Amino acid sequence: TVVILDFGGQYNQLIARRVRECAVYCEVLPSRTPLAEVFAKNPIGIIFTGGPNSVYEEESPHIDPAVFERGVPVLGICYGIQLMAHTLGGHVTSPDSREYGKTVTYYDTSCPLFAGLPDKGVSWMSHTDYIDRLPEGFTSAAHTDCCPTAAMQNPEKKLYGLQMHPEVLHTENGVAMLRNFLYRVCGAKGDWTMGDYARSTVASLREKIGDGKVLLGLSGGVDSSVAAALLSRAVGGQLTCIFVDHGLMRKNEGDEVEEAFRGHDLNFVRVDARDRFLDKLAGVTDPERKRKIIGEEFIRVFEAEAKKLGRVDYLAQGTIYPDVIESGAGDAATIKSHHNVGGLPDYVDFKEIIEPLRLLFKDETRALGRELGLPGYLVDRQPFPGPGLAVRIVGEITREKVAVLQDADWIFREEIARAGLEKEVHQYFAVLTDMRSVGVMGDGRTYDYTVALRGVTTTDFMTADWARIPYEVLDLVSRRIVNEVRGINRIVYDITSKPPATIEWL
């Protein structure tokens, strides 16, 4: 185990994620955790994260100096290096100039952290304070133009510090520096795998849940599917998954979800609520009204189904780490009322929420899903909004329009797959606009709907660029949709980025 002591920085889970990337098991603990508890885990190394404070202030989090006396390697990052310096008798000061962002850094490659790496590179800095006097026994191992100690070392005591953030990809070779710490200094073997993660999570879920009953809202998206597979492995038939089919899924999707879970040990309840949703949506054109109706209706259907189960002990959710960050975002303006299947704690009688994926990033969640034997089409699925095709039909939603859009979208997806672009284009789908225009097919005039194709590339879905899908692929999709889907006579491709547009049209 590597223990990561959390001093409140923005990138702390990212450090954990990088350590896992180096195939080393780690746990993040609050910085106040008593040392006895930390050492009870038999750590092969300890990492101090960054944090927003200044070490010389009274109320800033501190650390018991005994942590440095056990012979266990310690790496301090950002606030962590300053805390190490301060605690061991060095001096930290607040200079006139701050360092933020990409900074050219010079490394001493005889330091194990930088062994085998270039002696110069860009690193990501985010600090106001810096170390102006090293503690006894330490030497500086890197510097920048304004910071004399961008890294420090005391190899004898296996104590190291980095002022930059190695966990952020802007730091060139940052992950290699962490790997050097883990492998060269801590002696980690790097043999931890997602299989180990699955096994230990299953064991701790079993212990926690005992013979309790668990309820999970399954949307068919990656996160809830992986949560379902994990819980199923842990507690089998004590798990009930409710899958509300609102009739606004993509073509065949409801059946695919059911199919994927057929072999698993769990109670799978598929609620056919298609009519209910479409009746409620009849005549509604306002995007936010659509979202609200679906969100509310979803809760009602879920609640009615959950009541049939009586009291459950745990409500499980497929919350992953980026959701945890995003929901803390606070005062941002409501652009869209996002609806996430699973966020229903007020409506079901249960005693506790469990979120077994809470610390995983998206790609780790996918890897775990693969490990648990979920099919590729579920695990590698692109994001799909909770309100489904309702936010891809401009204007009134009817059964016919849903069917038309499902067919057009299916063709688009099929051709993207055929062109091998599934990984490159991060989200792609068809939108049924409310616009009709004149066309000519055969010898006749048509007056039909326009389908817009949307494809974006993005890393976080907060910003996105429109995807440069090859013309040949767009051409094929256009011709196929017009030929194969009745009621469509015109195809356009959306070439706006986010911002100013959003990814979905509604």
Q: Which residues are catalytic?
A: 78, 165, 167
Binding residues (CB under 6 A) for ligand XMP: these are 336, 338-340, 383, 385-387, 427, 461, 498, 502-504
CA distance 70 to 47: 14
220 is in an annotated binding site: yes
3 state SS of 372: coil
- Do 186 and 44 meet the contact criterion of CB atoms below 8 Å apart? yes
478 is in an annotated binding site: no
373 is in an annotated binding site: no
- Do 194 and 367 meet the contact criterion of CB atoms below 8 Å apart? yes
54 is in an annotated binding site: no
219 is in an annotated binding site: yes
Which residue number, 45 or 221, has a Cβ lying nearer to ligand XMP? 221
Q: 104-110 — which CB contacts under 8 Å span 24+ positions?
A: 104/144, 104/145, 105/142, 105/143, 105/144, 105/150, 105/164, 106/142, 106/143, 106/144, 106/150, 107/141, 107/142, 107/151, 108/140, 108/141, 108/142, 108/151
Give 263's contacts (C-beta < 8 A, 6+ positions apart): none
**DSSP string over 221-245:** SHHHHHHHHHHHHHHGGGEEEEEEE
Which residue number, 114 or 243, has a Cβ lying nearer to ligand XMP? 243
CA distance 86 to 90: 5
- Do 232 and 242 meet the contact criterion of CB atoms below 8 Å apart? no
- Do 216 and 241 meet the contact criterion of CB atoms below 8 Å apart? yes
Comparing C-alpha atoms, which of 138, 136, 171, 161 is closest to residue 75?
A: 161
We find the least distance from the C-beta atom of residue 387 to ligand XMP, in angstroms, to be 5
Which residue number, 348 or 456, has a Cβ lying nearer to ligand XMP? 456
Cite the beta strand spans of 185-274 per DSSP E: 214-217, 239-245, 267-272
**∠ Cα 139 142 145 (to 5°):** 120
- Do 280 and 293 meet the contact criterion of CB atoms below 8 Å apart? yes
Which residue number, 446 or 502, has a Cβ lying nearer to ligand XMP? 502
Which residue number, 170 or 498, has a Cβ lying nearer to ligand XMP? 498
CA distance 159 to 76: 8
Which residue number, 453 or 503, has a Cβ lying nearer to ligand XMP? 503
Name the binding residues for ATP: 219-225
